[in-house]
Structure 1
Amino acid sequence: MLDPHGLYEVAGELPALDGPVLIQALTGFVDAGSAIQLSRENLLENLESEVVATFDMDQLLDYRSRRPPMIFVADHFESYEDPVLALHLVRDQLGTPFLLLTGPEPDLQWERFIKAVTELIERLGVKVTIGLNAIPMAVPHTRPAGLTAHATDKSLIGDHESWLQRVQVPASLGNLLELRLGRSGHDALGYAAHVPHYLAQTGYPAAAELLLDAVSKVTGLALPTGKLRESAKLVREEVDKQIAEDEQAARLVTSLEAQYDAFLRGRANSLLVESDAPLPTAEELGAELERFLAEQTRDD
Structure 2
Amino acid sequence: MMDHVRWSDHPRLRRPVLVAAFEGWNDAADAATTAGRYLLDRWDARPFATIDPEIFYDFSSTRPQVHLADGITREIIWPSNELSAGTLPRTQRDVVVLLGVEPQLRWRTFCEQVVGIARELGVEMMLALGALLADVAHSRPVRVTGTAADPDLVARLGLERSRYEGPTGIVGVLHDACRQAGIPSASLWAAVPHYVAATPSPKAALALVQRTSSLLSSPVLTTDLELAAADYERQVTEVVESDDDVAGYVRQLEERVDELDEAEANLPSGDALAAELEKFLREHGGD
Asked if these proteins are the same fold (TM beyond 0.5), I'd say yes
Change over 3 Å in CA distance of 1:154–1:215 after alignment to 2: farther
- In structure 1, the residue matched to 2:21 is 25
**1:136–1:194 contact (8 Å) kept in structure 2:** yes
The yes-or-no answer on 1:90 pairing with 2:86 is yes
Structure whose CA Rg is larger: 1
- Segments of structure 1 that go 5 or more residues without pairing to the other structure are 267-300
SS of equivalent residue, structure 1 residue 48: coil
Alpha-carbon distance between aligned partners in 2 of 1:58 and 1:263, rounded to the nearest angstrom: 46
Alpha-carbon distance between aligned partners in 2 of 1:122 and 1:224, rounded to the nearest angstrom: 31
Alpha-carbon distance between aligned partners in 2 of 1:248 and 1:131, rounded to the nearest angstrom: 36
SS of equivalent residue, structure 1 residue 255: helix
Change over 3 Å in CA distance of 1:92–1:231 after alignment to 2: farther
Alpha-carbon distance between aligned partners in 1 of 2:210 and 2:260, rounded to the nearest angstrom: 24
Alpha-carbon distance between aligned partners in 2 of 1:83 and 1:237, rounded to the nearest angstrom: 34
Give 2:199's aligned amino acid: T
- In structure 1, the residue matched to 2:52 is 56
Identity %: 26
**2:7–2:48 contact (8 Å) kept in structure 1:** yes
**1:133–1:191 contact (8 Å) kept in structure 2:** yes
Change over 3 Å in CA distance of 1:153–1:59 after alignment to 2: same
Which of 119, 124, 140 pairs up with 1:122?
119
Give 1:136's aligned amino acid: L
- In structure 1, the residue matched to 2:180 is 183
**2:62–2:79 contact (8 Å) kept in structure 1:** no
Alpha-carbon distance between aligned partners in 2 of 1:156 and 1:180, rounded to the nearest angstrom: 17
Aligned residues: 258
Which of 200, 203, 208 pairs up with 1:203?
200
> 1:223: how far off?
3.3
Give 2:179's aligned amino acid: G
SS of equivalent residue, structure 1 residue 170: coil
> 1:18: how far off?
1.6
Alpha-carbon distance between aligned partners in 1 of 2:262 and 2:21, rounded to the nearest angstrom: 33
SS of equivalent residue, structure 2 residue 54: helix
Alpha-carbon distance between aligned partners in 1 of 2:40 and 2:260, rounded to the nearest angstrom: 37
* Deviation by residue 1:178-208 (Cα, 9 ceiling, x = unmatched): 1221232111111111111112211111111
Superposition RMSD on alpha carbons, in Å?
2.5
The yes-or-no answer on 1:221 pairing with 2:218 is yes
- Scaled by the length of structure 1, the TM-score of the pair is 0.77
- In structure 2, the residue matched to 1:160 is 158
Alpha-carbon distance between aligned partners in 2 of 1:70 and 1:224, rounded to the nearest angstrom: 34
> 1:244: how far off?
2.5
- Segments of structure 2 that go 5 or more residues without pairing to the other structure are 264-287
Alpha-carbon distance between aligned partners in 1 of 2:82 and 2:162, rounded to the nearest angstrom: 34
* Deviation by residue 1:39-84 (Cα, 9 ceiling, x = unmatched): 1231344442221111111111111111123369xxx994433221
**2:40–2:97 contact (8 Å) kept in structure 1:** no
Change over 3 Å in CA distance of 1:124–1:94 after alignment to 2: same
Q: Which moved more, 1:89-98 or 1:227-236?
A: 89-98
